[in-house]
Amino acid sequence: MAVVTIDEALDWIHSRLKFNIRPGLSRVSALLDLLDHPEQHLSMIHVAGTNGKGSTVAFVRSIFMKAGLKKVASYTSPFIETFGERMAINTQPMPDDKIIEYVNLLQPLVAQLDADEKLTGITEFEIITAMGFKYFYDEKVDLAVIEVGLGGLMDSTNVIQPEVCAITTIGLDHVDILGKTYEAIAAQKAGIIKEGIPVVSGNIGPEALAVIQKTAQEHHSQLFEFKKAYKIEVLKDECFNFTNDHLNLIRIEKSLLGFHQIENAAMAIEIADLYAQRVGIPLTEVAIREGLASAYWPARMEQIAESPLTLLDGAHNVHAMKRMLENLKKEQSGKKITILFSAITTKDIRHMIEMLNSVENGQLILTTFDHPKALSLNDFAEYAADGVQYVGDWRKEILDIRRKCQVDDIFLITGSLYFSSQVREFLLKNL
C-alpha cells in the first residue's frame, strides 16, 4: 500500500532492522542494482572515522559551495533537526514529499528482495543509503560528500567509488561490532580505501595509523597524513595556519567552536585540495576561507544561549568526551559549571561519567530520554558516584538549571547525539 504522509514513510523506514545478522554489502548492492546503480554516476568523497567525520563533511561541503559548485550533497547520520538532513543538498534537507516519493519507489523493491532468502532483511540504513544515492542522482548533484555510518569495510556506503577517501580519527567505540583494539577498529575504517584512490588521515595514534598505512600501500593509494602531508599551527582565538606541498594559508578562521575543530578544518582543506586537483576544478583561497568560516554543524560545542552560557555537545563516546572537556577547560577559567548528561547503554557510560564528574567546579546531573537504548532511571544506581544527581524529567531540569545559574556560570548538555537532538529542539522552542 502506498504511503501518503511523512509519518507513514518514516514509520516504514524505521520498521526495518537496525542491523542484519549477516553483515555485508550484498543487500544494498542488490537494491542499488534494481535502481540502476545511481551511485556509479556520482562524483563522491568518502569520510570515515570514530569522531570528527560529520564536522569534516560539513567543512568540505561548505568549501565547495563557496567554490561555486551549484549542488553539493551530503549524506550524514544521525539527524539532529529533521530526518531529511541526512540526505541534504546545499545544506537543505531532503523534502518530505521526496522522502514519501522514494519510499513508495523502494517498498516494492525491498519486498522483492525480502522474498529471496539470500537477500532478505534489508536494514533501515541500507534503505536510507540507497534512497540518498538515488536522490542525489535524480537531482544531478555536482558532488556528494558521504559520511560512513558505522565502521567502513561493511558499511552500506562502501559500495561507492570516490575520488578521495578520508579517515578522521580512531577511537574505541562500537567495540562489540568493530573490535576491541585500535588496530581492529582501524582495519574496519581502512576498509573504505579503494585501489589507487588517495586517502587523507587525521590525528590518528601510531597503532591505528600503521594499519591504515599498510592498507593504503596494499591498495596503491597515496596516503596524505596529518603532520606530514599537511600541517597546522594553532593560533589564539582558535585560528590556525595551514600548509601542504603547495598551499600556505595564514590565520584561518572557522565557524565551529573547539580546538579539535582545527584538525577537522585542516583535514577538510586537504580533502578539498585533493578532490579539486583530481576532478580539475579551481579551488581558491577565498573559497576555503569563506567555506570554513560559514560551515554549519549543530550540537558540536554549539552555543545555544548566553547568560548563562549554554552549550550543547554530542560527545557520545570517550574519545569525543576527552576532546570536548579539553575545549571546555579553555572556556571555563574557574567558572562554575553544571553538566546534564545522558547516553545510550551501548557506550562506555561509566568512563564518561568519571570524566564529567572530575570537572573542576562542576555539578554532574544524569538523566534519561526517549530512546529504546537510553540510560534509564533503573540504571542510575549502577553509575552512582559521589556528588552526582539524578533526574527523570530533563526538560523541567533544563529550565530549572537556567533559572538557578548565575550570569557567568556555564551550563553544558552533553552525551548521546540522539539526546542532543531532542534537547536542541526543546531549547530552540523554549529559550
pLDDT value at residue 299: 85
pLDDT value at residue 289: 98
Poorest-pLDDT segment among 125-129, 290-294, 377-381, 404-408: 377-381
CATH of domain 6-294: 3.40.1190.10
User: What mean pLDDT do residues 190-199 have?
Assistant: 98
pLDDT value at residue 174: 66
Residue 96, all three cell numbers: 518530505
Is pLDDT above 90 for 277? yes
User: What mean pLDDT do residues 79-101 have?
Assistant: 95
User: What mean pLDDT do residues 336-365 have?
Assistant: 91
User: What mean pLDDT do residues 238-243 have?
Assistant: 96
Distances (CA, A) of 420 to 13, 77, 410, 413: 22, 13, 17, 8
Is pLDDT above 70 for 332? no
Is pLDDT above 90 for 150? no
Confidence band (pLDDT; 50, 70, 90) for 157? very high
* Burial (CB count within 10 angstroms: exposed 0-12, middle 13-18, buried 19+), residue 228: exposed
Is pLDDT above 80 for 331? no
pLDDT value at residue 99: 98
Q: 179 or 393, which is more confident? A: 393
pLDDT in tens, 6-17: 999 999 999 998
Is pLDDT above 80 for 180? no
pLDDT value at residue 63: 98
- Structural Rg of the chain based on CA atoms: 21
**Burial readout 173-190 (b: 16 or more C-beta within 10 A, e: otherwise):** bbeeebbeebeebbbbbb
Confidence band (pLDDT; 50, 70, 90) for 301? confident
The answer to whether 311 and 405 are in contact (CB under 8 A) is: no
The answer to whether 262 and 254 are in contact (CB under 8 A) is: yes
Average pLDDT over the chain, rounded to whole? Answer: 93
Is pLDDT above 80 for 175? no
Confidence band (pLDDT; 50, 70, 90) for 143? very high
> Where are the domain boundaries for CATH 3.40.1190.10 in the chain?
6-294
Considering Cα of 301, then 226, then 273, then 286, what sign does the dihedral take?
positive
Is pLDDT above 80 for 134? yes
Query: Listing from the earlier edge strand, what are the strands of the sheet with 44-48?
Result: 87-89, 72-75, 143-147, 44-48, 164-167, 199-201, 223-225
Q: 108 or 173, which is more confident? A: 108
pLDDT in tens, 314-329: 888 888 898 889 888 8
User: What mean pLDDT do residues 78-87 have?
Assistant: 91
> Where are the domain boundaries for CATH 3.90.190.20 in the chain?
302-430
User: What mean pLDDT do residues 171-182 have?
Assistant: 76
Its CATH architecture, for the domain 302-430, is Alpha-Beta Complex (3.90)
Query: Listing from the earlier edge strand, what are the strands of the sheet with 410-415?
Result: 302-305, 309-313, 410-415, 337-342, 362-366, 389-390
User: What mean pLDDT do residues 304-319 have?
Assistant: 88
Considering the chain, what percentage of its residues have pLDDT values greater than 90? 74
3-state secondary structure 6-37: HHHHHHHHHHCCCCCCCCCCHHHHHHHHHCCC
